[in-house]
Structure 1
Amino acid sequence: MRILLDECVLRPLKRELSNYDIRTVVEMGWSGKTNGELLQLMAQADLTILLTTDRNLQYQQNFQQARVAIVVLIAPSNRIPDLVPLIPKARHVLETISVGEVVEVGRS
Protein backbone atom coordinates (compact mmCIF):
# COMPACT_ATOMS: atom_id res chain seq x y z
CA MET A 1 0.00 0.00 0.00
CA ARG A 2 1.41 3.32 -1.11
CA ILE A 3 -0.39 6.54 -0.20
CA LEU A 4 -0.54 9.94 -1.88
CA LEU A 5 -1.34 12.95 0.28
CA ASP A 6 -3.47 15.28 -1.84
CA GLU A 7 -2.45 18.88 -2.45
CA CYS A 8 -5.35 20.16 -0.32
CA VAL A 9 -3.98 18.35 2.77
CA LEU A 10 -1.22 20.21 4.57
CA ARG A 11 2.11 18.39 4.32
CA PRO A 12 2.81 18.26 8.08
CA LEU A 13 0.03 15.66 8.35
CA LYS A 14 2.51 13.24 6.78
CA ARG A 15 4.33 13.08 10.15
CA GLU A 16 1.18 11.62 11.71
CA LEU A 17 1.34 8.74 9.24
CA SER A 18 5.08 8.09 9.37
CA ASN A 19 4.67 4.31 9.52
CA TYR A 20 3.17 4.29 6.01
CA ASP A 21 4.80 4.65 2.60
CA ILE A 22 3.35 8.08 1.93
CA ARG A 23 4.21 10.76 -0.61
CA THR A 24 2.79 14.22 -1.17
CA VAL A 25 1.63 15.72 -4.45
CA VAL A 26 4.36 18.36 -4.08
CA GLU A 27 7.10 15.75 -3.50
CA MET A 28 6.01 13.93 -6.63
CA GLY A 29 6.13 17.15 -8.68
CA TRP A 30 2.42 16.93 -9.45
CA SER A 31 1.24 20.29 -8.11
CA GLY A 32 -1.58 21.82 -10.11
CA LYS A 33 -2.57 18.58 -11.87
CA THR A 34 -6.25 17.93 -12.47
CA ASN A 35 -7.85 15.06 -10.54
CA GLY A 36 -7.95 12.91 -13.67
CA GLU A 37 -4.26 13.51 -14.37
CA LEU A 38 -3.44 12.82 -10.74
CA LEU A 39 -5.18 9.44 -10.84
CA GLN A 40 -3.28 8.46 -13.99
CA LEU A 41 0.02 9.51 -12.43
CA MET A 42 -0.82 7.57 -9.27
CA ALA A 43 -1.36 4.41 -11.30
CA GLN A 44 1.95 4.85 -13.09
CA ALA A 45 3.76 5.38 -9.76
CA ASP A 46 1.99 2.43 -8.08
CA LEU A 47 0.32 4.67 -5.50
CA THR A 48 -2.92 2.97 -4.45
CA ILE A 49 -4.58 5.31 -1.93
CA LEU A 50 -5.33 9.03 -2.15
CA LEU A 51 -5.77 10.79 1.19
CA THR A 52 -7.71 14.01 0.68
CA THR A 53 -10.07 16.54 2.23
CA ASP A 54 -11.82 17.13 -1.12
CA ARG A 55 -15.40 15.98 -0.50
CA ASN A 56 -16.40 16.43 -4.16
CA LEU A 57 -13.69 14.22 -5.62
CA GLN A 58 -15.70 11.04 -5.13
CA TYR A 59 -18.40 12.34 -7.46
CA GLN A 60 -15.99 13.38 -10.21
CA GLN A 61 -13.94 10.28 -11.00
CA ASN A 62 -14.17 6.51 -11.50
CA PHE A 63 -11.82 5.11 -8.86
CA GLN A 64 -12.48 1.46 -9.70
CA GLN A 65 -11.25 2.08 -13.22
CA ALA A 66 -8.31 4.14 -11.94
CA ARG A 67 -7.37 1.28 -9.55
CA VAL A 68 -7.11 3.54 -6.50
CA ALA A 69 -8.94 3.96 -3.22
CA ILE A 70 -9.84 7.29 -1.67
CA VAL A 71 -9.89 8.28 2.01
CA VAL A 72 -11.66 11.60 2.57
CA LEU A 73 -10.94 13.33 5.87
CA ILE A 74 -14.05 15.24 6.97
CA ALA A 75 -13.13 18.08 9.32
CA PRO A 76 -14.15 21.71 9.87
CA SER A 77 -11.00 22.78 7.97
CA ASN A 78 -7.85 21.29 6.50
CA ARG A 79 -5.78 22.71 9.38
CA ILE A 80 -3.59 20.19 11.20
CA PRO A 81 -5.39 20.61 14.59
CA ASP A 82 -8.67 19.69 12.87
CA LEU A 83 -7.21 16.69 11.02
CA VAL A 84 -5.01 15.06 13.69
CA PRO A 85 -7.98 13.76 15.75
CA LEU A 86 -9.10 11.82 12.64
CA ILE A 87 -5.81 9.93 12.28
CA PRO A 88 -6.70 6.90 14.48
CA LYS A 89 -9.82 6.23 12.38
CA ALA A 90 -7.91 6.94 9.18
CA ARG A 91 -5.27 4.37 10.15
CA HIS A 92 -7.97 1.73 10.55
CA VAL A 93 -9.46 2.62 7.17
CA LEU A 94 -6.03 2.55 5.50
CA GLU A 95 -5.60 -1.04 6.69
CA THR A 96 -8.97 -2.23 5.39
CA ILE A 97 -9.81 -0.16 2.28
CA SER A 98 -9.96 -1.82 -1.14
CA VAL A 99 -9.30 -0.49 -4.63
CA GLY A 100 -12.27 1.48 -5.94
CA GLU A 101 -13.62 2.32 -2.49
CA VAL A 102 -14.21 5.82 -1.17
CA VAL A 103 -14.34 6.06 2.62
CA GLU A 104 -15.09 9.22 4.56
CA VAL A 105 -13.42 9.60 7.95
CA GLY A 106 -14.92 12.13 10.36
CA ARG A 107 -15.54 12.64 14.01
CA SER A 108 -18.45 10.64 15.35
Structure 2
Amino acid sequence: MNARVLFDQGTPAPLRHSLAEHLVETAFERGWANLTNGELISLSEEAGFAVFVTTDRNLKYQQNLAARSLSIVVLRSTSWPRIQRAIPAVLAAINGAIPGGYIEVAID
Protein backbone atom coordinates (compact mmCIF):
# COMPACT_ATOMS: atom_id res chain seq x y z
CA MET A 1 0.00 0.00 0.00
CA ASN A 2 2.86 2.41 0.81
CA ALA A 3 0.96 5.03 2.79
CA ARG A 4 2.53 7.99 4.56
CA VAL A 5 1.96 7.39 8.27
CA LEU A 6 2.46 9.89 11.10
CA PHE A 7 2.86 8.71 14.69
CA ASP A 8 1.55 10.97 17.44
CA GLN A 9 3.62 11.49 20.60
CA GLY A 10 2.26 8.50 22.55
CA THR A 11 2.66 5.99 19.74
CA PRO A 12 5.63 3.70 20.48
CA ALA A 13 8.32 4.39 17.86
CA PRO A 14 9.41 0.71 17.59
CA LEU A 15 6.07 0.03 15.87
CA ARG A 16 7.52 1.61 12.74
CA HIS A 17 9.66 -1.51 12.19
CA SER A 18 6.47 -3.51 11.66
CA LEU A 19 5.29 -1.04 9.01
CA ALA A 20 8.17 -1.51 6.58
CA GLU A 21 5.95 -1.10 3.50
CA HIS A 22 4.86 2.36 4.69
CA LEU A 23 6.70 5.65 5.07
CA VAL A 24 6.54 6.34 8.80
CA GLU A 25 7.49 9.58 10.54
CA THR A 26 6.85 10.81 14.06
CA ALA A 27 5.47 14.14 15.21
CA PHE A 28 8.69 14.58 17.17
CA GLU A 29 10.89 14.04 14.09
CA ARG A 30 8.92 16.66 12.19
CA GLY A 31 9.21 19.19 15.03
CA TRP A 32 5.49 18.96 15.73
CA ALA A 33 5.71 17.50 19.25
CA ASN A 34 4.15 20.49 20.99
CA LEU A 35 1.21 21.10 18.65
CA THR A 36 -2.40 20.62 19.68
CA ASN A 37 -4.21 17.69 18.08
CA GLY A 38 -6.16 19.98 15.74
CA GLU A 39 -2.99 21.69 14.51
CA LEU A 40 -1.17 18.39 14.21
CA ILE A 41 -3.93 16.77 12.17
CA SER A 42 -4.20 19.80 9.86
CA LEU A 43 -0.44 19.90 9.25
CA SER A 44 -0.43 16.14 8.69
CA GLU A 45 -3.04 16.49 5.97
CA GLU A 46 -1.22 19.42 4.37
CA ALA A 47 2.02 17.40 4.37
CA GLY A 48 0.31 14.52 2.55
CA PHE A 49 0.04 11.94 5.32
CA ALA A 50 -2.67 9.34 4.76
CA VAL A 51 -2.80 7.85 8.27
CA PHE A 52 -2.41 9.40 11.72
CA VAL A 53 -1.65 6.84 14.46
CA THR A 54 -2.32 7.94 18.02
CA THR A 55 -3.04 6.57 21.48
CA ASP A 56 -5.36 9.49 22.31
CA ARG A 57 -8.74 7.81 22.74
CA ASN A 58 -10.43 11.18 23.34
CA LEU A 59 -9.52 12.47 19.88
CA LYS A 60 -12.91 11.60 18.41
CA TYR A 61 -14.57 13.81 21.02
CA GLN A 62 -12.12 16.70 20.59
CA GLN A 63 -12.05 16.99 16.81
CA ASN A 64 -14.50 16.98 13.91
CA LEU A 65 -13.02 14.04 12.03
CA ALA A 66 -15.72 13.71 9.37
CA ALA A 67 -14.24 16.41 7.14
CA ARG A 68 -10.68 15.10 7.34
CA SER A 69 -8.79 13.61 4.41
CA LEU A 70 -6.53 11.40 6.48
CA SER A 71 -7.52 8.31 8.42
CA ILE A 72 -7.16 8.16 12.20
CA VAL A 73 -6.00 4.90 13.80
CA VAL A 74 -6.24 4.87 17.59
CA LEU A 75 -4.27 2.30 19.57
CA ARG A 76 -6.11 1.59 22.81
CA SER A 77 -2.87 1.24 24.79
CA THR A 78 0.52 2.93 25.02
CA SER A 79 2.23 -0.27 26.21
CA TRP A 80 4.73 -1.45 23.61
CA PRO A 81 4.67 -5.12 24.79
CA ARG A 82 0.86 -5.14 24.50
CA ILE A 83 0.91 -3.38 21.12
CA GLN A 84 3.49 -5.91 19.86
CA ARG A 85 0.99 -8.70 20.49
CA ALA A 86 -1.62 -6.81 18.45
CA ILE A 87 0.56 -5.94 15.44
CA PRO A 88 -1.61 -7.94 12.99
CA ALA A 89 -4.65 -5.86 14.03
CA VAL A 90 -2.65 -2.62 13.83
CA LEU A 91 -1.42 -3.53 10.33
CA ALA A 92 -4.95 -4.41 9.23
CA ALA A 93 -6.22 -1.03 10.47
CA ILE A 94 -3.46 0.91 8.71
CA ASN A 95 -3.66 -1.11 5.50
CA GLY A 96 -7.45 -0.70 5.42
CA ALA A 97 -7.40 3.02 6.19
CA ILE A 98 -9.68 5.19 4.09
CA PRO A 99 -9.74 8.99 3.84
CA GLY A 100 -11.74 10.43 6.72
CA GLY A 101 -11.81 7.04 8.45
CA TYR A 102 -11.53 6.39 12.17
CA ILE A 103 -10.74 3.05 13.77
CA GLU A 104 -9.80 2.04 17.29
CA VAL A 105 -7.57 -1.01 17.61
CA ALA A 106 -8.30 -3.06 20.71
CA ILE A 107 -5.09 -3.90 22.54
CA ASP A 108 -5.38 -6.66 25.18
TM-score by length of structure 1 reads 0.88
Q: Which residue in 1 is equivalent to 2:7?
A: 5
The number of aligned residues is 106
CA distance in 1, matches of 2:107, 2:65: 24
| Residue in 1 that maps onto 2:93 | 93
- Runs of 4+ aligned residues of structure 1 deviating over 6 Å after TM superposition are none
Q: CA deviation at 1:72?
A: 0.8
Kindly indicate whether residue 25 of structure 2 is the aligned counterpart of residue 23 of structure 1: yes
Aligned identity (percent) is 35
For the residues of structure 1 that align with 2:79 and 2:107, how far apart are their CA atoms? 15
Shift of 1:107: 4.1
User: Which structure 2 residues correspond to residues 26-45 of structure 1 after superposition, within 5 A?
Assistant: 26-45=28-47
Task: Please state whether the residue corresponding to 2:32 is helix, strand or coil.
Answer: coil
**Superposition CA RMSD, Å:** 1.5
> 5+ unaligned residues in a row in structure 1: which ranges?
none
Q: For each residue in 1:22-45, what CA deviation from the matched residue of structure 2 results, as whole angstroms up to 9, or x when unmatched?
A: 111111110110011101111111
Whether 2:103 is the aligned partner of 1:103: answer yes
Residue 83 of structure 2 contacts residue 107 of structure 2 at CA under 8 Å; is this kept in 1?
Answer: no
Q: How high is the TM-score relative to the length of structure 2?
A: 0.88
